Structure 1
Amino acid sequence: MARSRRALVIGGGIGGLTAAAALHQGGWDVTVLERAPSLEPVGAGISLAPNSLRALDVIGLGDEIRDLAAWQGDGGLRTPSGRWLSRTDAAVVAERFGGPLVLLHRATLVDSLAARLPARAVRTGAAATLADPGDADRPARVSTPDGDLEADLVVAADGIRSAVRRALFPRHPGTVYSGFTTWRVVIPVPGAQFASHETWGRGRIWGSHPLKDGRVYAYAAALTPAEGRAPDDEKAELLRRYGDWHDPIPAILAAARPEDVLRHDVHRVAEPLPAFHRGRVALVGDAAHAMEPMLGQGGNQAIEDAVVLAAYCDDLGSYSAARLPRTTAIARQAARVARLNLMTNRAGIAVRNTALAALSKAAPLLFLRGFEDIADWRPPQAPYAAGKTPAGNRKRRTPREGRLHRTR
């Protein structure tokens, strides 16, 4: 009887768990090593686009997530005074991209991914260090407090500050500060009724989105020096920066407690890695291509990575070849959008806003075009999706003819 191949996944976040689930589905014996004492993510909401939902279809999870999530698209872009610069419709977005954009709490997605794995496949409180990447003639080796483990494949999903990335590519400069910090909250806001929106100010943005469970996910970003902290607390900092912006922002801030607010500086991999693998080790997610969040693609690209890795697990060179160009292009696009979002020149902001408003009125579908090549991606494997209509949502539309089988 053939020996089951063993995979070790370093990191129990979204990318690591998706990789574990996809490899387990392919017959691998998988162990996830998570440094934290639990899988409870330090995070808030996550937006999933049609590209990552198709990847989740491969492991049989796409329809479940569509059912659990709120559809996005009914809303648009605003100025701090409340004026709408553009409006979008969820049905139009779903038709354009062959599926919906959805929003849910990160913990919900993590729980669903972990449920795809066998009992005891996930070890929490298990710090892991890459000891040897291995090669064609010997297994990779990972050190843990309980001893060394060998594997046919190591998946490094250890995040922005990836120690595995440094070990594989010691001459790479790593991540750089993007110039701005972010705040996030997920809270109940009694009586809140509003359309999803993102609001662009001068060097600042804010986003508010209802979740399906009745809570509100809100985020903010502002140009700040690295490693800054509020003199009082982060809620007070948000009130100072956004307290006079349009409704429902004041109501959300009033409902938030200081301890509800998460703050993180944003770092990115500015110089692409030479590859996403070395020996028997493959990098996924932020460990490979940390990027600004302005396109909402960080977690989406980690999910794509994981499913493509499962398809090319016997040829990691093909995995790098499939993922490196795509993620590099998306990271560069995210950096461009961040500069557009966080403009500080008043004349430039006026021109930007006028152009966005005119474009939205004259050709609303053209406004979505920059996202088309991201959302239209298909995984290399056949989908597992049941194809049912997500509960409580509009019917999903069929992808446009001629793009159904295209991969990038």
Structure 2
Amino acid sequence: MYDDQVVIIGAGICGLSTALALHKKGIKSVVMERSESLRNVTGAAITIRPNGWRALDQLGVADILRHTTIPLQREKVVSLDGERQQEISLYHCVGETRCLRRKDIIDTLYAALPPSTVKFSCQLESVKQDPHTTKPILRFMDGSSIIAKVVIGCDGDKSIVANFLNLAPAKMFSLCEVRGLTYYPNGHSLAHEFTSFKKDNLLVGRIPIDNNLVYWFCTQPYNLKDERIWKDPEVIQHNTLELLSNYPQEIQEMIKTTDMKSLSFKRLRYRAPWHLSTGTFSRGTVIVAGDAKHVMGPFLGQGGSAALEDAVVLARNIAQLGLNHVEEAFNRFVRQRRIRVLRVSLQTYFIGMLSSNSSRLKKFICILLVILLFRNQKSHMDYDCGTL
């Protein structure tokens, strides 16, 4: 058993960005990652809206990432119900919107950290509180333990740190999503726009990352026929092609030529908005951030950006009050972030319910609440987390 000052659990986007934010404020941390190496293959890509780019600017890595992707100019929704394609909405992107490979974000954040910040093959087993000092004790699967001064749980939607805080478990939408990347060696000639294709209960999204690489996803009702789909890329690809057999040929070709290593299948999860309004996200010197705190569906494209915001705001509060007053810093962070993540999560939840196999009554209620509560449905992009 050994001591460490600030321990971050999880080297995903939130964990690495929190470590970087703390580093830029002169606070050393160690990131404990369960995998043997960086998890920079899974997840394919994420969309970063203007609020996310503001956070990346504060972290000092935005310009590096801008060179890896093209700005999106428009978002378009195409209906495939009926005999032909019909464009049902087209609008210009508000502010800076780009799609980034998750690998590029992870690699860039990791490269900006001091060497040896991230420790690999450290799978957390439990968190307990020392009865005498009240310091958190972290026990790992290999039998080792750490007495930490501060613990920041960035360990995703199945967070062990969240369990320690007695947060209600994440819930599941009746939806799942397949994600992948397709590379076009000779260029794809697609417009710089986020295009969604809708047909029946299916949604296919296509977003160019650069002039050769395209990110795509397929959101569908959850109906597990083959358990191998969780791990086997060939099964994922076969099932997706079968599902989209009546989609345009260009969509089918995109899936046929996708990078098999990038394919993933995931059930969509969310932390219930009513739990976000009342949940205890910190206890003593232990706190959660990112998906561990507010996992949400992908319907607004805000999961990654919300995690980046968390990193900036959390590090700012710790730096302002110091490690000797970290409990007060955590309490302030929770107060500052609660309304923000509640609104984004609530809006995402309503859109997820509209996309699910909900009853007509539930859908009507969701539409009514969206109109009443979110008159400007793009306001989530306008948020500024402030300076680091």
Q: Common fold, TM-score beyond 0.5?
A: yes
Change over 3 Å in CA distance of 1:239–1:15 after alignment to 2: same
Change (3 A) 1:223 1:33: same
SS state at 1:234 partner: helix
User: Aligned Cα RMSD in Å?
Assistant: 2.9
SS of the residue 2:85 aligns to: coil
Cα deviation code 1:23-59 (max 9, x no counterpart): 1111112100000111133210111111111112112
Q: Deviations over 1:281-317 (max 9, x none)?
A: 1101111111111111111111111111111223111
CA distance in 2, matches of 1:59, 1:251: 38
Query: Is residue 2:379 matched to residue 1:369?
Result: no
Unaligned runs of 5+ residues in structure 2 are 319-325, 364-373
2:164 maps to what in 1? 167
SS at match of 1:312: helix
Match of 1:248 among 235, 245, 250: 250
For the pair 1:297 / 2:302, whether they are aligned, the reply is yes
Task: Tell me: CA distance 1:257–1:34, structure 2 relative to 1, closer, same or farther (3 Å).
Answer: closer
Distance in 2, matches of 1:200 and 1:343, equals: 15
Deviation, 1:258, is 5.7
Aligned to 1:209: 207
| Paired amino acid for 1:174 | P
Q: Indicate the larger mover: 72-81 or 181-190.
A: 72-81
**Closer, same or farther: CA 279–215 of 1 in aligned 2, 3 Å:** same
1:71 matched residue in structure 2: 71
Specify the code of the residue in structure 1 equivalent to 2:102.
Answer: R
Deviation digits for residues 344-392 of structure 1 (CA, Å, limit 9, x no counterpart) = 899x99xxxxxxxxxxxxxxxxx993022x111112325xxxxxxxxxx
> How far apart are 1:73 and its partner, in Å?
3.2
C-alpha separation in 2, matches of 1:285 and 1:193 = 35
Task: Give 1:114's match in structure 2, choosing from 107, 110, 115.
Answer: 110
Tell me the residue number matched to 1:396. Answer: none
Residue matched to 1:224: 222
- Mapped to 2, the partners of 1:209 and 1:160 lie a distance apart of 25
CA contact under 8 A between 2:72 and 2:98: conserved in structure 1? yes
Aligned residue in 2 for 1:358 = none
Please report how far the alpha carbon of residue 102 of structure 1 lies from its aligned counterpart in structure 2 after TM superposition: 1.0
Q: State the aligned residue count.
A: 351
**Can you list the C-alpha shifts for 1:153-208, whole angstroms capped at 9, x where unaligned?**
21101111111111111xx4301221011000112135532233011222110001
CA pair 129-233 structure 1, distance change in 2 beyond 3 A? closer
Deviations 1:217-265 (A, max 9, x none): 1001111246864788121211122232235312202313666531111
Bigger CA drift: 206-215 or 333-342?
A: 333-342
Task: Find the aligned partners of 1:380 and 1:139 in 2 and give their Cα distance.
Answer: 31
Letter in 2 for 1:86: S
Change (3 A) 1:28 1:257: closer
Mapping of residues 257-276 of structure 1, within 5 Å: 260-270=262-272, 271-273=274-276, 274-276=279-281
Residue number in structure 1 paired with 2:371:
none
CA contact (8 A) 1:235 1:257 kept: no
Could you tell me how far apart the structure 1 residues matched to 2:353 and 2:310 are? Answer: 26
Q: In the TM superposition, what whole-angstrom CA distance separates every residue of 1:85-140 from its partner, at most 9, and x where no partner exists? A: 112334xx22xxxxx01111000000111112110111111112443357996533
Q: TM-score, normalised by structure 2?
A: 0.82
- Normalised by the size of structure 1, how large is the TM-score? 0.78
Cα pair 2:165 2:280 within 8 Å, conserved: no
Equivalent of residue 319 in structure 1, options 329, 333, 351: 333
The verdict on how the C-alpha distance between 1:250 and 1:134 changes in structure 2, with shifts beyond 3 A counting, is: same
Distance 1:178 1:344 in 2: 10
**Corresponding position of 2:121:** 125
Distance 1:225 1:82, change over 3 A: same
Q: Deviations over 1:305-331 (max 9, x none)?
A: 111111122311111111122112211
**Alpha-carbon distance between aligned partners in 2 of 1:214 and 1:6, rounded to the nearest angstrom:** 44
After TM superposition, give the deviation of residue 62 of structure 1 in Å: 2.0
1:280 counterpart residue number: 285
2:37 aligned counterpart, secondary structure: coil
- Matched position secondary structure for 1:72: coil
The one-letter amino acid paired with 2:296 is: M
The code of the aligned residue for 2:208 comes to: P
**Distance in 1 separating the partners of 2:132 and 2:350:** 40
**In the alignment, residue 170 of structure 2 is paired with which amino acid?**
T
Report what 2:368 is aligned to: none
Residues 161 and 129 (structure 1 numbering): CA distance in 2 closer, same or farther, change over 3 Å?
same
- Show structure 1 runs of 5+ residues with no match: 95-99, 350-366, 383-408
SS in 2 for 1:294: coil
Secondary structure of 1:272's counterpart equals: helix
Aligned counterparts of 2:358 and 2:289: Cα–Cα separation in 1: 34
Instruction: Quickly say closer, same or farther: Cα 1:297–1:51, change in 2 above 3 A.
Output: same
Amino acid at match of 1:124: F
Task: Read off the aligned partner of 2:122 and give its amino acid letter.
Answer: A
**Is the contact between residue 82 and residue 245 of structure 1 (CA under 8 Å) also seen in structure 2?**
no
| Inter-CA distance 39–321: structure 2 relative to 1 (3 Å threshold) | same
SS state at 2:18 partner: helix
For the residues of structure 2 that align with 1:48 and 1:381, how far apart are their CA atoms? 18
Identity over aligned residues, as a percent?
25
